Structure 1
Amino acid sequence: MIDRLAPSKRPVGMNAGTQRWESLLFCHWEIDAERLRPHVPETLDLDTFDGRAFVGIVPFKMRNIRPSWLPRRFAFNFLETNVRTYVTHNDRPGVYFFSLDASSRLAVIAARIGWSLPYFFAQMSAHGSGDEHRYRSARRGGAAEHRVSFRVAEHLGPSVPESLEHFLFERYLLFVEKRGRVFCGQVHHDPYDVWTAEVTEFADQLITAAGLPKLGERPTLAHYSPGVDVEVFSIRE
């Protein structure tokens, strides 16, 4: 039995760092689990909602990032876009990242060394006015590009447990495989305050660059959140 609420509880002890995630756009496509299974490590199980598997792209702003030992005045900012799916390990639900693009070389190096996450450096931009937003990203050397424009639409509020929205958004664990061993990182934050979003422009090469099959020209589901303050806890086997 998967307990989807337990990971949202704050771990005991001091965090490893803090950050704020802002202006998140959650784009999702439904994908047949059999098509997705070969792209996820065998040590992890696919997590599905009523038998439905999903792949997501999430562009957002990383703000006020700092490890716990760094004074606040040295915190830094960057943009990020991740390609993800949902998995379980020992019945614990979390996220598996196919790729993460970031506009900070320091963040890319630190995350690859410290967390073994597949980060890539990219030139990225974000613009917003009122309810209209757009993100642009291009990996160095033109390896993969991504652009999306969207409009914030209907306010949904925090996701209700056992709903599809709760399944997609309220993820507090990440899993990464290193040399056949599974490691888990945890974050803690308040539930997302969520709106639906209307995607007005979309072009993506990140999904196929990660080796995944080509999905629809536009996401079938799109949601927006203004952001959350996040505590990050150390990754552990």
Structure 2
Amino acid sequence: MRKRPAGTPLLRQEWSDLLFMHWAVPAELLQPHLPPRLQIDTHDGMAWLAIVPFRMSDVRTRFTPPVPGASEFLELNVRTYVHLDGVPGVWFFSLDATNPLAVWVARTVFNLPYLRATMHMERPTAQLRQFRAKRTHPGVAPAAFRATWNIMAPLPPAEPGSLAFFLTERYCLYTSNKAQTKLYRGRIAHAPWPLFTANVLHYESSLIESQDLPTPAGTPLLHAGGPVSVELWPMQRV
């Protein structure tokens, strides 16, 4: 899946200042929330639920320069890991973003569950990140998120078969129409993630609970990541 797909990518962008917050959960907790054909992907028998805040920048199509005011914004997603016919990928329960145009395009063109939100990220030092978000999308469950974390030591590249590889090295995403009768897969390409250890100093969130999922137990597994330059291909029905 790391191999760059054939054809022409639709979009290019950069992802930076990521925090991967992962909780191990029973697969049977998440499977009922997926379209019928998708299967939860597991590592050592456990599924994983994640919250990922980050900065998206230099967003543009392959043939156009970045659009001022629309090429950089913050994003915050709730996700799990799935597979279809042996192809691993990501399933997003929600994707909150600060850019109304990006939210509209993602919902309309890609069937992705993007939601409007206000967000702020501060970088008091080279290692410290402060992120806060509040969902403002009409007609959906309210949610908020706040976290402060330190980026610590660099990690070696994730090796195939390792938990870090399972959680971060995902090169396609899945989505469906609202009735979950049609399923789509989109490919992405980027260099392997630069990963770092991380330390969360403060965290509070209602994002997972807004998806009618129980609050995961225990301390999350943490990785900081980025930056990576990303190419995205059009969604294909599968």
Which of the five TM-score ranges fits, normalised by the shorter chain? over 0.9
Q: Does 2:19 align with 1:19? A: no
Q: 2:131 aligns with which of 119, 135, 159?
A: 135
Q: Which position in structure 2 is the counterpart of 1:232?
A: 232
Percent of residue pairs bearing the same amino acid type: 39
Q: Distance in 1 between matches of 2:144 and 2:4?
A: 36
Q: Does 2:80 align with 1:121? A: no
Q: Which position in structure 2 is the counterpart of 1:210?
A: 211
TM-fit CA distance, 1:59: 0.3
Q: Which position in structure 2 is the counterpart of 1:107?
A: 102
Q: Which position in structure 1 is the counterpart of 2:38?
A: 44
SS at match of 2:6: coil
Q: CA RMSD in A?
A: 1.5
1:64-213 residue pairs with structure 2 within 5 A? Answer: 64-72=58-66, 74=68, 76-128=71-123, 129-140=125-136, 143-178=142-177, 179=179, 180-213=181-214
Paired residue type of 1:212:
L
Q: Which position in structure 1 is the counterpart of 2:222?
A: 222
Q: Which runs of 5+ in 1 are unaligned?
A: 1-6
Paired residue type of 1:18:
R
TM-fit CA distance, 1:72: 3.9
Q: Distance in 2 between matches of 1:70 and 1:50?
A: 44
The structure with more strand, counted as a fraction of residues: 1
Q: 1:57 aligns with which of 51, 62, 81?
A: 51
TM-fit CA distance, 1:70: 2.1
Between Structure 1 and Structure 2, how many residues are aligned? 230
TM-fit CA distance, 1:73: 5.8
Q: Which runs of 5+ in 2 are unaligned?
A: none
| Larger CA deviation: 137-146 vs 68-77 | 68-77
The structure with more helix, counted as a fraction of residues: 1
Q: Distance in 2 between matches of 1:175 and 1:145?
A: 25
Residues 77 and 92 in structure 2, CA contact (< 8 A), matched pair in contact too: yes
Segments ≥4 residues shifted beyond 6 Å: none
SS at match of 2:226: strand
